Structure 1
Amino acid sequence: MNKRQARLFAIASTLVASVALLGLTLDSHRQFGKLTNADKITPQVTRGKDVWHKNNCINCHTLFGEGAYYAPDLTKITKLRGANYLTAYLRDPSKFYDEARHRRLMPRQDLSEGDIGDLIAFLDWVSNVDNQNWPPRPILVTGATFPGTDQAGAQAGAPPAARPAGGGDDPIALGERVFRSATPACAACHSIAPGVNMAGPSLAGLAGRTAQLFAAGGYRGKAADLAGYIRESVREPSAHLVPGPMYSADGVSFMPTTYAKDLTPQQIDQLAAYLSSLK
């Protein structure tokens, strides 16, 4: 290729790339309304955006990966935590995490109830934007991950007793899949590592703790055994409340109530089999 041919090739390549970029840009703008659910931008959502900026939330958190990386990304936070949890958390973050132990530095913003509701509405709108499943992993508020995590999200570094063996039709292995793939994923709020409490308590040693709960007479639900207790907790999270201000408020559990309709009875049985195996 001589100089003239190289020059023509460069010019043609630039033109083709420019046309492609222009076409993709126009196509993106054509779809923005649908992808961002623009018709769901209510006055409350707009006010919530103003609360977000006024309190400089972006100085610590990210949305769509943009912002500071000091605290977790909040793109899908309403789907992972729910409005009840977020309301209580925003009222007083110190009730959820001990700064000396968890190194949680979220300041108390003294937001009004109206501001809290508006901010949650804004974050809920954000969570429904079609952003190609970003962020790619569940939010883990504390250090609950382990080395060796594979693509399926299985905690390969978790204690051996917490890792189910087998595959195929094994209900324990199928239950672990439900634990990691339900919407929202159970693993986004519960760890299977001893002592690692996130938005929900650690599920390590659940069998032993449940036996102690039944024996102590503090259980308030209707289950008669461990599997029944797990099924009840999934279907009716408020049937028995685990003590602690970070797990419930005003007699209502922060755990989502949607699993009863989103999971089949078979999936709940598989989940019970897996969680029962966490000795």
Structure 2
Amino acid sequence: MNKRQTRLFAIGSTLVASLVFIGLTIDSHRQFPKLTNAENITPAVTRGNDVWHANNCINCHTLFGEGAYYAPDLTKITQLRGAPYLKAFLQDPERFYDEQRHRRLMPNPDLKDEEIDDLIAFFDWVANVDNQGWPPRPILVTGSSIPGTSLTIAQQDASGPGRTQEQMPPGARPVTGDEDPIALGEALFRTASPACNACHSIAPGVNMAGPTLADLVTRAQQTIASPEYQGEAETVEDFIRESIVAPSAYLHPGDMYSAGGVSFMPTSYGESLTDEQIDQLVQYLASFK
């Protein structure tokens, strides 16, 4: 091309690129109300946003991948933790960990109950924004499953590229309807909403938002035999099922697991899971001898 053709090509390419950019920008702004659930921005959400900024929470935490990365990303926190847990945590964070042991430095923000409610409303609005998968690698609660898969991070690494199903560890293999109930229960443990392993570990002594499930059978037997137990379960399986569908029937010792006689565990599993799925989950959990 000669100089004139080159100049025209550059000008034309710039105009086309500019028009495309402007078109995409307009289309993005057109979709913002729907993607962000703008109709759900209530006065409580707005006040919660003010609480978030007034306390400089972003200096430690992140939303949508933006923030300090010193503390966990809170974009989907209300999908992992219920409102009762979040409220109790924000009222007194020190109840939930030993600072000398865990080296966590979450300060007590000294928020009023109304401010906490507003902040939780803000978190809930954020959690329901369609962020189209961003950030691509969110900070996950320890042991929780990778979005869009039934694998934990460790299982994904174990599966590795190029491995056949037979070469994968049992926990990393895709679960099909032909699997036994315990295998199906294990998949539900990772993929139910919210995921059970977002709050519970299966490692001995590793307590997260909920108590560890290691030695669950032994502890369930001891609980049922205890005079303090006021539930209706007579067997380990009944106790596990009761804990899933009516978590406040028995409150695990420890202020970090309940408040005011109400468990922090979500009460939605009885509605979101079928009876068959609950049976599968019970069989899986009943294998923790």
Name the TM tier (shorter chain): 0.7 to 0.9
What stretches of structure 2 of length at least 5 have no aligned partner?
159-169
Partners of 1:58 and 1:137 lie apart in 2 by 15
Tell me if 1:266 matches 2:276: yes
Corresponding residue of 1:76: 76
Corresponding residue of 1:54: 54
Map Cα deviations across residues 60-105 of structure 1 (whole Å, 9 max, x no partner). 0001111110111111111211111111111000001111222221
Partners of 2:274 and 2:10 lie apart in 1 by 58
Partners of 1:26 and 1:165 lie apart in 2 by 44
Partners of 2:18 and 2:8 lie apart in 1 by 15
Corresponding residue of 1:20: 20
Task: In structure 2, give the amino acid aligned to 1:25.
Answer: T
Over 3 Å counting, the alpha-carbon distance change for 1:4 and 1:205 in structure 2 is: farther
Number of paired residues? Answer: 270
Q: Deviation of residue 278 (structure 1)? A: 2.3
Q: Deviation of residue 216 (structure 1)? A: 4.0
Over 3 Å counting, the alpha-carbon distance change for 1:2 and 1:266 in structure 2 is: farther
Over 3 Å counting, the alpha-carbon distance change for 1:39 and 1:125 in structure 2 is: same
Map Cα deviations across residues 230-278 of structure 1 (whole Å, 9 max, x no partner). 1111100101010111100010000001111000011111111111122
Corresponding residue of 2:192: 182
Please give the secondary structure, in 1, of the residue aligned with 2:45: helix
5 Å-filtered alignment, 1:116-131, equals 116-131=116-131
Partners of 2:139 and 2:71 lie apart in 1 by 14
Over 3 Å counting, the alpha-carbon distance change for 1:273 and 1:8 in structure 2 is: farther
Query: Is the Cα–Cα contact under 8 Å of residues 195 and 202 in structure 1 kept in the other structure?
Result: yes
Task: In structure 1, give the amino acid aligned to 2:77.
Answer: I
Corresponding residue of 2:166: none
Partners of 1:8 and 1:112 lie apart in 2 by 64
Query: Is the Cα–Cα contact under 8 Å of residues 164 and 176 in structure 1 kept in the other structure?
Result: no
Map Cα deviations across residues 32-85 of structure 1 (whole Å, 9 max, x no partner). 111111111111111111111111100000011111101111111112111111
Please give the secondary structure, in 2, of the residue aligned with 1:238: helix
Task: In structure 1, give the amino acid aligned to 2:89.
Answer: Y
- Residue number among 203, 223, 234 corresponding to 2:233 in the alignment: 223
5 Å-filtered alignment, 1:115-264, equals 115-134=115-134, 139-140=140-141, 144-145=142-143, 152-154=150-152, 155-156=154-155, 167-168=175-176, 169=178, 170-264=180-274
Partners of 2:173 and 2:127 lie apart in 1 by 35
Query: Is the Cα–Cα contact under 8 Å of residues 75 and 134 in structure 1 kept in the other structure?
Result: no
How many percent identity over aligned positions?
Answer: 65
Query: Is the Cα–Cα contact under 8 Å of residues 247 and 253 in structure 1 kept in the other structure?
Result: yes
Query: Is the Cα–Cα contact under 8 Å of residues 143 and 198 in structure 2 kept in the other structure?
Result: no
Please give the secondary structure, in 2, of the residue aligned with 1:223: coil
Q: Deviation of residue 137 (structure 1)? A: 5.5
Partners of 1:207 and 1:4 lie apart in 2 by 82
Partners of 2:97 and 2:134 lie apart in 1 by 26
Query: Is the Cα–Cα contact under 8 Å of residues 171 and 273 in structure 1 kept in the other structure?
Result: yes
Between 1:104-113 and 1:15-24, the stretch displaced more is 15-24
TM normalised by structure 1 equals 0.87
Task: In structure 1, give the amino acid aligned to 2:266.
Answer: P
Over 3 Å counting, the alpha-carbon distance change for 1:8 and 1:180 in structure 2 is: farther
Corresponding residue of 2:40: 40
Partners of 1:35 and 1:165 lie apart in 2 by 34
Tell me if 1:276 matches 2:274: no
Partners of 2:36 and 2:90 lie apart in 1 by 25
Q: Deviation of residue 211 (structure 1)? A: 2.3
Query: Is the Cα–Cα contact under 8 Å of residues 204 and 278 in structure 1 kept in the other structure?
Result: yes
Task: In structure 2, give the amino acid aligned to 1:18.
Answer: S
